[in-house]
Amino acid sequence: MNKATFHPLAKYFPMLPEDEFEQLKESIKNFGLLEPITTLNGMILDGRNRYRACIEVEVEPRYHEYQENSHKPIDFVVAANMRRRHLLPAQKVQISIDIYGEPTYRGMQKNKTDELPQGSSNKEPRSYADVARETGVSAHTVSRVVSVQDDEELKQQLRDGKIETTVAQRAMKQKVANTRLKQFEQTHEGKVPETWQGLYALAPNAADIAHDLGRIINGVDKWLSNKYGLDRIDPKGHTPLLITKTEKAIEELNRFKLALEELRDE
């Protein structure tokens, strides 16, 4: 192999940062190439950085042809790089999504096979928890990365390790909020109405509302299961206030539910 060609499946992982590449060059210069470069059909499948380093320090590269077995070539690339590379959590998740497709919260929806790269294993359906286990990050990190998949600029920054998930998600929410605000201003002649519909339009992400409602439901469930000691509440002293607060909460939730139904039916 006089001049190496990189296999298309090697593209999903970014090249090493300059400082890490310099360390790799120094290591190869002093100790030689410790791990051979893996090729597939004469193209480099894994080891682009090692190849470049060998060329620059004038060390003869060594190659090993990948023998396909029960694992697909892309799975080999993922396993090798997720283990070896110093990648940020967000990078790992974004690369996994690039390769295997976007997961769903409970893994109930399937990715389209034609959206997966050539040579990829079909890992559908996958949940956030599945991706978290595969990449060694938290499911919360996975959900944050999933939330920015409609923005190519943010996705690229995640791939390159230039942005953290919290920053990416905040930027995405701001973009969505700005878009919704402009739409409402155009529809309502520059005025955003002080209604549930207006508040919904300004919400950075509907998932935030769902998350808050989930917290309310969980809180009520814990309350009813006596986590907060209902059996110790003074019937005469506390219950009138609690009943009033509960009725108010139910009233507000019903208002919100009706407003959501109006939005749905528009």
Q: What is the mean pLDDT of the chain?
A: 82
Q: d(Cα 107, Cα 234) in Å, to the nearest integer?
A: 45
Q: Note whether 75 and 82 are within 8 A (CB).
A: no
- Alpha-carbon distance 176 to 22, whole Å? 41
Identify the band that residue 215 occupies on the pLDDT scale cut at 50, 70 and 90.
confident
The more confident residue out of 160 and 1 is 160
Give just the sign of the alpha carbon dihedral 141, 147, 148, 150.
positive
Q: Please tell me the predicted confidence (pLDDT) of residue 209.
A: 76
Report the pLDDT value the prediction gives residue 151, as an integer from 0 to 100: 93
Q: Residue 110 pLDDT more than 50?
A: no
> What is the predicted pLDDT for the residue at 119?
45
Residue in the structure block whose two tokens are 């939730």:
253
Mean pLDDT comparison of 60-74, 143-157, 242-256, highest-scoring range: 143-157
Looking at residue 261, its pLDDT comes to 80
In the numeric block, which tokens belong to residue 156? Answer: 């690229």
pLDDT value of position 211: 76
pLDDT surpassing 70 at residue 195: no
Confidence (pLDDT) at 204: 53
Query: Which residue did the predictor score with more confidence, 231 or 199?
Result: 231
Is the pLDDT at 137 greater than 50, yes or no? yes
Per-residue pLDDT reduced to its tens digit, 2-41:
578 999 999 999 999 999 999 999 999 999 999 999 999 9
| Calpha distance 85→207 (Å, rounded) | 32
The tens digit of pLDDT for each residue in 154-189 reads 999 999 999 999 899 888 877 877 777 777 677 666
Give the tokens for residue 40: 């597939």
Helix or strand run (H / E) with residue 43: strand 43-46
Q: Residue 108's pLDDT is what?
A: 55
Q: Which residue has the higher pLDDT, 193 or 86?
A: 86
| pLDDT given at position 258 | 86
pTM: 0.63
Residue 113: the pLDDT is 42
* 154 phi/psi in degrees, rounded to 5: -65, -40
Number of CB atoms found within 10 A of residue 153's CB: 12
The percentage of the chain sitting over the pLDDT mark of 70, rounded to a whole number, equals 78
Taking the C-alpha atoms of residue 219 and residue 228, their distance in angstroms, rounded to an integer, is 10
- Least confident span in 43-57, 138-152, 163-177: 163-177
